[in-house]
Structures are given as structure tokens and as C-alpha cells.
């Protein structure tokens, strides 16, 4: 089936709606539930315009399978991973296409303790179940959906990795690339002795200032120029779901 070209080695990713749509997202949730029998899962999404409907379709699939959903809303991939282990859930799905253009979307799947699901650990089985579409009838007890804001807990977790009293008051040029990193920066600036100089911090899934991919040489000048223009001590640029970044001296 051509639409299953969106199943990659480590995630699901493709052009919406040609390779990935709401109907497929629903079946992915049903297949995940059939394969792993979770009780509760987390669902989050990045800023792409298609993320809301894809996350809603996943939610419907889980609810129909009798699985409870913890909806953490607009977030970064690391926040779904955090929610999964912090809340002791049975798994999680992040709706994101990471550093790809806005017409793409996808999913990153984990099991309990945020263990990644790749082609060798279940993703191909999910693809097979999606193709066969032989799911059991809807559960007698539909799953429940709970909206939960975990950002404060996530930021507190991040702060556990550093000794803030030993940090120097640096000036840092930050470029979230209109992805979701800017949402976390707003919380971190209250907890760190740094001055954040932010460019393209507003989440915008149309990516008006270019695809948030720091690996592309043509995308580096925005951050490099910000470092030079402001005399910052260093610069950081993130991709769309902030699971990777580039540092600038």
C-alpha cells in the first residue's frame, strides 16, 4: 500500500495528506493498542498545521480501543518522552516531522519508560496491523481523555541536571526556528541566570523564517548573525520539536 511509505526505520514521517492522514493515524493508534495492550498513553504534537487533526485521530483510535489518553498538547518530543516515564504511562506518541518542511508530519512512538519503538522493536508490526486492518470491535469501556500541562514538571526535571548556583550570567542567542523550543525557553529564563536573546521564538507551523533545520548551512546565518550583532557569549538553534540543536561560539 503506497500510503505506508511513511513508515521509516525509526519513526513515521510523510507528506500530509498524501502519505499520512487522519484515517491512517486512527489505524496506527488501533494497531499500537492491539500490539502493546497499553492502559494509558501520552499524546503530544508540534506546531505543524496538520498536528491538531492527526493527534485527534490518534486519540479517537486509542479511545475506541479502550485506552486512556493523556493529552499534553503543543510540546516538544522530549516532553512526550518525559510525560511517559514521569507519569508512569504505558507509552506515548509525539506527532511531529522534526526538521522537515511544514507539509510533512509524522510520529515518534515509545513504550513504557519512553523506550523507543523502531522497525526492529514493533514499528513494522504496527505497519502490518495497519495494512491488515483486522482490529477487534470497539472496547466496551471507551478510553478517557485527560488534558494535562506537564511543562512546569518538565522544566523542574531539566533543572535537576544542573547546579544553577555555579552558572555564570551568560548572554545566549536563541533561535527556536518558530518551533516549540520557545515555549520551554519562557519557563527556563525564570530559573537560569542567563539573558536569552530570542529570534523566531513564536511557534508558527508554517515556518515563515525557513525550515527549522540547523543542519542546513543556509539556515545557520540567522543565529550566527544574532550572536555577532548582540555580542552574545554563544548561540543555540533548535529544530522544530527541539530534540536536536546546534551550538554557535
- List the catalytic residue out of 37, 53, 98, 156: 98
98 given a catalytic annotation:
yes
148 contacts 70 by C-beta, under 8 angstroms: yes
Q: Is 84 helix (H, G, I), strand (E, B) or coil?
A: helix
Instruction: Classify the C-alpha dihedral 189-152-86-30 as positive or negative.
Output: negative
List of E strands, 81-230: 91-95, 104-111, 145-147, 171-175, 195-198
**Cα 227–chain centre separation:** 27
Instruction: Classify the C-alpha dihedral 12-18-22-28 as positive or negative.
Output: negative
Sole residue written with cell 543565529: 223
* Cα gap 161→102, rounded to integer Å: 33
**What is the full DSSP assignment across 60-79?**
HHHHHTT-EEEEEEE--HHH
* Cα gap 249→228, rounded to integer Å: 10
Instruction: Classify the C-alpha dihedral 208-211-213-216 as positive or negative.
Output: negative
User: Which active-site residues does the annotation give?
Assistant: 98
Amino acid at each position: 500500500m503506497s500510503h505506508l511509505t511513511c513508515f521509516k526505520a525509526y519513526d513515521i514521517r510523510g507528506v500530509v495528506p498524501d502519505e499520512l492522514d487522519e484515517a491512517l493515524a486512527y489505524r496506527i493508534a488501533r494497531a499500537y493498542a492491539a500490539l502493546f495492550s497499553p492502559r494509558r498513553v501520552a499524546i503530544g504534537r508540534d506546531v505543524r498545521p496538520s498536528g491538531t487533526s492527526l493527534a485527534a485521530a490518534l486519540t479517537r483510535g486509542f479511545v475506541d480501543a479502550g485506552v486512556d489518553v493523556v493529552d499534553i498538547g503543543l510540546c516538544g518530543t522530549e516532553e512526550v518522552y518525559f510525560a511517559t516515564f514521569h507519569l508512569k504511562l504505558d507509552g506515548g506518541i509525539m506527532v511531529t516531522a522534526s526538521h522537515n518542511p511544514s507539509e510533512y508530519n509524522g510520529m515518534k512512538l515509545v513504550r513504557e519508560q519512553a523506550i523507543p519503538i523502531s522497525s526492529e522493536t514493533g514499528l513494522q508490526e504496527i505497519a502490518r496491523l495497519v495494512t491488515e486492518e483486522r482490529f477487534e470491535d470497539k472496547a466496551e469501556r471507551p478510553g478517557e481523555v485527560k488534558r494535562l500541562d506537564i511543562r512546569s514538571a518538565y522544566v523542574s526535571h531539566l533543572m535537576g541536571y544542573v547546579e544553577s548556583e555555579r552558572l555564570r550570567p551568560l548572554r545566549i542567542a536563541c533561535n527556536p526556528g518558530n518551533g516549540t523550543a520557545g515555549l520551554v525557553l519562557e519557563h527556563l529564563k525564570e530559573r537560569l541566570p542567563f539573558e536569552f536573546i530570542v529570534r523566531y521564538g513564536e511557534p508558527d507551523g508554517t515556518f515563515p523564517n525557513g525550515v527549522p533545520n540547523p543542519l542546513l548551512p543556509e539556515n545557520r546565518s540567522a543565529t550566527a548573525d544574532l550572536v555577532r550583532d548582540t555580542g552574545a557569549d554563544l548561540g543555540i538553534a533548535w529544530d522544530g520539536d527541539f530534540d536536536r540543536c546546534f551550538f554557535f561560539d
